Each structure stands twice: as structure tokens, then as C-alpha cells.
Amino acid sequence: MIGKICGFIIVLSFIFAIITGNVSALSDAIYKGADSAINLSLSLMGMMCLWNGLMQVAQSSGAIDKATRFMSPVLRFLFPDAYKKNNGMGEIAASMSANIFGIGNGATPLAIKAMEKLQENNSGGERASNDMIMFTVLGTASLDIFPTTLVALRRAAGSANPFEIIIPVWICSFVTAVLAVLLVKIVCSFRK
Amino acid sequence: MRKVNTILKVSTLVVPLCIALFGLCLLLSKKDMFGEFTKGAASGMKTAVRLAPTLVALMCAISMFNASGAAEYIANMLSPVCKKIGLPSGIVPFVVVRPLSGGASTALISDIFEKYGPDSFVGRCTSLIAGSSDTLLYIISVYFGAVGVKKTGGTLPIALITMFFCVFFASFLCRIFF
């Protein structure tokens, strides 16, 4: 799926660049893209090591189990398979709280860790499990309670009240997330 | 206002607090917590390496998409349609780029704030969309790329539908709130 999308974007961009005469900008962009991918991977690597290490510590100290028990009614509804197999709930709980508290780069490594657990439940198949779809779709719905970057941008642009958008953002995020969950549940009930 | 400021301050404390707790754990626990940390960190390293090839392809494609003028063209094409359904046309370039790239969408947010002002209807709409959506293509590729799952089921269409809904709902909320 991602391969097809990548291919589509590349071919479309190439055709556009030829038509609009942006070819030199295009070749610049190719190098820049590859460059920033590796830069991002390197900075992710640092964050991944840190957060994976902290997760391991949190796990063996029992902190994860407590957090999971606290969130378990919600998690049980969202991720029935992981709940049944009792594998990955802690990782999901940690990653979702990271998203909610908006620790930015910390959330991605934790999410990947959770995906790895869900992939174990999926017995390493190439086809996404229902839990994985739910987890990823929720990952794309921004659950962040403190949109710090956004508020900083608004303040920098001279807004009279940079914070005025917070409550509508909460409403919008919440309603969007509920819709996302419903859609995933509906789509998954047709899969098998 | 004062309260929200405090909340934001607390939120910058979350990460240092996590690390401080880790320090305490190192000091007080009887288990070999440092060994646990390095074990986890090593597995993070492996994941990051496995992820890099996906990112190279994806970010090349996105960078090409922005530089070729395709993003701009699609945004121009969509803006009359948006006007008809009640969305301000100023948000269109941002909405097109939002699912693809975090950096480019941040650039477009400050662009819109500069052009229309952060407290204008367009500025507020953009703020709401930015606060309730994310770079979905990047997230989907990274999450599934890291575990080697190729058939992602309905993930992308569901995420896209949710994002479209978010755009409409944001402009609706703006009309109600401000």
C-alpha cells in the first residue's frame, strides 16, 4: 500500500516538474528528501534508544502494569485481541499516554514497540490485524492535550489570545477520535 | 488564561520528570535497572535501523511532491470546490500537505498566520485542524514499516475519511465558538 502511494507521488511529481519546468528544483528535492530521512532516522535512533530503555525499566519495575490496569476497560474495548492474548497491553497504554501528554518524539518509539507486540499476536503475518488498524488510526488522530507547537506558533504570529483554540481543539480531537474508532470497528467487522 | 499557562508549563515538565523518576529508580531499586535500560535501548537501535529505508523512499517522494509544484497545483484546483462547500480557500494548501509532512505543514501554518492573522477565521480553522490531525501518511508508513506489514487493510482510507471530517468539523466549530 505504502509502496503504491510512494510510486504514485513520485510519478506525479515527475510529470508536474516536467510540465512546470521545475526539474532542477526536483533534483535538489530528491537529495534533500534522502538527506532529511537519514537525519530524521538518526534523531529517532537517539529517542528510540532512550524511550525503549525507559520502557524496559518501567516494565520491570511494575509501573507499566499499574498504568495498564488503570486504562484496561478502554483498552479492552479497543484492542480485544491483545487483551485476550494478554500481550502488548502495557506497550499500548504507554504509547497512548505518551501521545496524550504530547511528548512528541517519545511517542513514535513507544508506538513502534506496541506495533511489534501486536505483530507477535498477528504471528508475524504480512496482513494487518484488527488491533493494528485500530492502533495506527488512533495514532493518526492527534490525542495531544497540550498543542505546544501550535500555541507557540500562534504566539509568535502575535495572536491576541494564543490559548483560545485549546477547548475547541479538545472537542474536535475527541469527536474525530470517536469517529475513527467507530469506522475501524465497522470496517473490522467486515474483515476475516 | 493563567490556568492554561500553568498547564503548558506542567506539560514541559513531563519528560524531565520521567527521566528524574528513572534516576530515582536507578538509585533505589535492588534490581539491575541500568542493565534493563541498556537492554531496551539496544532493541530501540535495531528498530531505528530497520525503519530508515522506508523513510528514505517516503521523504524523497514527499520532497519531490512539494518541489515539483504538484502540491500547489492540487491546492489551486481544490480551492473553488472548497469555497462552494463553505471552507475558506486559504486553508487548502495546508490541508493538502498536512497528511504528508510535519515540517511543511508547520511552515504553511506560520505562512497562513502571517497572511491572514492567527485570530482570523482562516487562522483559527487552521489552528483547529493542526491541533486535531496528524501527518497520517508518515505515521502509517512508520508504524507498519517497522514491523514489515504490507497489507494495511482499511487503515489509510479510514485515516483519510477521519481527516476530511476533521476539516469540516473544525470550520463548523470555528463558526460556533468565535
pLDDT digits (tens, 9 = 90+) for B77-136: 888 888 887 788 888 888 988 888 777 788 788 888 988 999 999 999 999 999 999 889
Tell me: pLDDT of A144 over 80.
no
**Cβ atoms of residues B141 and B54 within 8 Å:** yes
Half-sphere exposure in the Cβ direction for B109 (13 Å, CA): 24
Residue of A13, A101, A103, A116 to mutate, testing the B interface (most B Cβ within 10 Å of its Cβ) = A13
State mean pLDDT over A150-171. Answer: 86
Residue of B nearest to A159 (CA): B118
**Cβ atoms of residues B149 and A126 within 8 Å:** yes
Q: How far away is chain A from the Cα of B3, in angstroms, using its nearest Cα?
A: 10
Per-residue b or e along A98-133, where b marks 16 or more CB atoms closer than 10 Å to that residue's CB: bbebbbebbbbbbbbbbbebbbebbeeeeebbbbbb
Here the cell at position B178 is: 468565535
A109 and B110 within 8 Å at the Cβ level: the answer is no
Tell me: pLDDT of A104 over 60.
no
Tell me: pLDDT of A98 over 90.
no
The whole-number pLDDT of residue B38 equals 92
The whole-number pLDDT of residue A100 equals 79
Of A3, A61, A160, the CB nearest to B119: A160
State mean pLDDT over B147-164. Answer: 92
Backbone angles phi, psi at A124, to 5 degrees: 65, 20
Here the cell at position A19 is: 510540465
The whole-number pLDDT of residue A118 equals 95
Tell me: pLDDT of B57 over 90.
no
Task: Specify the higher pLDDT residue, A67 or B124.
Answer: B124
Q: What is the percentage of chain A residues whose pLDDT exceeds 90?
A: 38
Q: What is the percentage of chain B residues whose pLDDT exceeds 70?
A: 93
DSSP string, A59-92: HHTTHHHHHHHHHHHHHHHH-HHHHHHT-SHHHH
Q: How far away is chain B from the Cα of A2, in angstroms, using its nearest Cα?
A: 6
The whole-number pLDDT of residue B153 equals 87
Backbone angles phi, psi at A21, to 5 degrees: 75, 25
A191 contacts chain B (CB < 8 A): yes
Complex ipTM: 0.82
Residue of B nearest to A103 (CA): B15
Written as one letter, the residue type at B4 is V
Per-residue b or e along B10-42, where b marks 16 or more CB atoms closer than 10 Å to that residue's CB: ebeeebeebeeebeebeeeeeeebeebbeebbe
For residue B86, what is the DSSP state?
T
The whole-number pLDDT of residue A155 equals 84
Cβ contacts of B60 on chain A, cutoff 8 Å: 10, 29-30, 33-34, 37
Task: Specify the higher pLDDT residue, B1 or A49.
Answer: A49
d(CA B41, CA A109): 11
Residue of A48, A49, A81, A140 to mutate, testing the B interface (most B Cβ within 10 Å of its Cβ) = A140
Cβ contacts of B14 on chain A, cutoff 8 Å: 101-103
The whole-number pLDDT of residue B104 equals 77
Tell me: pLDDT of B178 over 80.
yes
Which range (A172-181, B61-70, B120-129, B136-145) has the least confidence?
A: B61-70
d(CA A166, CA A169): 5
